[in-house]
Structure formats: structure tokens, C-alpha cells
Amino acid sequence: MQTNVNLMDEMKKIKKVAQPHLIVFVGDALAGNDAVEQAEKFNESVGIDAAILSKIDADAKGGGALSITHSIGKPIIFVGTGQEYDDLETFDARWMVERIFGV
């Protein structure tokens, strides 16, 4: 949780030791402003390279996805549209625009 200072400090230590090549934020598209705050705090603490959003199929317009992308300036690479591994799909910006504008 982004409000847990000790957890965020541990994540910084893990990043320092593991030196990952890619850091991905995985968030719930339905969490709204809380998901945005989570992404911002995680980005400030460890630096996010990209995002994966779950439950995107249940988000009526995708506002959470746009807000997260805008606030951290990082791309969404995958979206979860169900509960199975096969339901993880490559993010398609055109699909998102069509959902938002009803095209």
C-alpha cells in the first residue's frame, strides 16, 4: 500500500539490490483516484517503467487508465479483461479511445 512508509522503503532496498531492468506497476482500473495515487507514489519511490491494469473490462469509460498514464507519464503495456492468464491482453490505445468516445 502506498501509505505504508516501511513497505515503500523496503521496495527501494529491493530495487537497489536486484537492479531490475523493468519495473511494472500493476493496478486495479476500478480503484479510481486511489490507483492514481498508488502509481504516483510507487513511481516516486522506485520509478515505474510501465503499467498493467486489471479489471479494465469492468471500467465503463477507462478514466482510471487515462489518469494513471497522464499522472506518471508511462505507458500501459497490458490490460486484464478477466480472471484467467489468457485474459491479459496487450494494451491497444485505439480500443481505449473507442470505449471513451463510443466510436
More confident residue, 19 or 7: 19
Q: How far apart are CA 61 and CA 87, in angstroms?
A: 19
Q: What angle do CA 53, 57, 7 make, to 5 degrees?
A: 25
Tens of pLDDT, residue by residue over 67-76, are: 888 889 999 9
Question: Taking the domains of the chain in order of start, what are their residue ranges?
Answer: 5-101
Q: How far apart are CA 79 and CA 91, in angstroms?
A: 6
CA 78 to chain CA centroid, nearest Å:
9
Tens of pLDDT, residue by residue over 27-43, are: 888 777 888 888 999 99
CATH topology of domain 5-101: Rossmann fold (3.40.50)
CA-CA-CA-CA torsion for 73, 50, 12, 26, nearest 10 degrees? 110
- Residue with cell string 539490490: 17
Say if pTM beats, i.e. exceeds, 0.85: no
